[in-house]
Amino acid sequence: MKCAIVTGAARGIGLATARQLLADGWKVALVDRDAEALETDAAVLGENARTFLCDVSDSDQIDRMISSVLEWTGRIDGLVNNAGVADFGPIEETNFDRWRTVMETNLDGVFLCSQAAAPALRESGGAIVNIASISGLRASTLRVAYGTSKAAVIQLTKQQAAELGEFNVRANCVCPGPVRTKLAMAVHSQEIIDAYHDAIPLNRYGSEQEIANVIAFLCSEKASYVTGQVIAVDGGFESTGVGLPALRA
């Protein structure tokens, strides 16, 4: 049975992804630093799911987590680097601590988890799916740290695809548009929510499940010739260019 690691799996997009992969017949290692939320998952997800407490910004914890997953399943076929934090603020108020807090999870975490899982992924011919954001594709105010971390994840994905392809390891990136998770609701005011609805061709937020569907596809054999790609799952937001609400019929 194939095994996927999903980071940031205690809630939101990560939890929806873990559920989808379980439904698709994978074993799933749910990784998060939130012990309480992880315990709630563990109680309901069944015998093919295990939880692993780990902060993805800490390389020692990551090494222990990868060893524990391998003790459990003996293989890693998929790595979904989903754990992320959001902190929106103006450039001059984003002090180095705030910058580092965003980078250490959103960027360092993706680098470190992928590096630690790489030997097992090479053995299985597995797949990496990194979760960036539309904020990594298009710049916006208040996202100097968050947007930059996500743009870096997009480039990191391409580096991984270029280098790991010869070992039959694929690496792709999913850029979600807005989804009503705890992360988004902490930084999206009602005004921001309304503006997103206006700017998105499908006129709404996405659901966790809609993002999970694409992540699960990229992990699967159905995507066996897809690597180095960046897929926005965003209701058309990224593609619209001058999609000004005022130009609508």
Ligand X SMILES: NC(=O)c1ccc[n+]([C@@H]2O[C@H](COP(=O)([O-])OP(=O)(O)OC[C@H]3O[C@@H](n4cnc5c(N)ncnc54)[C@H](O)[C@@H]3O)[C@@H](O)[C@H]2O)c1
Catalytic residues, by residue number, are 146
3-state secondary structure 64-126: HHHHHHHHHHCCCCEEEECCCCCCCECHHHCCHHHHHHHHHHHHHHHHHHHHHHHHHHHHHCC
Exactly one of 82, 114, 148, 227 binds ligand X (CB under 6 A); that residue is 82
**Interface characters, 161-200, with ligand X (x: CB under 6 A):** ---------------x-xx-xxxx----------------
Helix or strand (DSSP H, E) at 57:
none
89 binds ligand X (CB under 6 A): no
Taking alpha carbons only, the member of 60, 145, 151 closest to residue 103 is 145
Beta-bridge mates of residue 38: none
The distance of closest approach from Cβ of residue 161 to ligand X in the complex, given in angstroms and rounded to an integer, is 19
In angstroms, rounded to a whole number, what is the distance separating the alpha carbons of residues 209 and 14? 10
The site map against ligand X for 23-62 (x = CB under 6 A) is ---------xxx--x-----------------xxx-----
Nearer to ligand X, 120 or 200 (CB): 200
Instruction: Give whichever of 51 and 57 is closer to ligand X, judged by the CB atom.
Output: 57
Which lies closer to ligand X via its Cβ, residue 100 or residue 182?
A: 182
Which residues on neighbouring strands pair with residue 29, listed in sequence order? Answer: 5, 50
Q: Which of residues 11 and 170 has its CB atom nearest to ligand X in the complex?
A: 11
Shortest Å, Cβ 58 to ligand X? 8
List, in order, residues 6 or more apart from 110 with CB less than 8 Å away: 56, 81, 130, 153, 156
Distances in whole angstroms, Cα of residue 234 to Cα of each of 50, 116, 156, 189: 30, 30, 21, 19
Footprint of ligand X on this chain (CB under 6 A)? 7-8, 10-14, 32-34, 37, 55-57, 82-86, 105, 109, 131, 133, 176, 178-179, 181-184
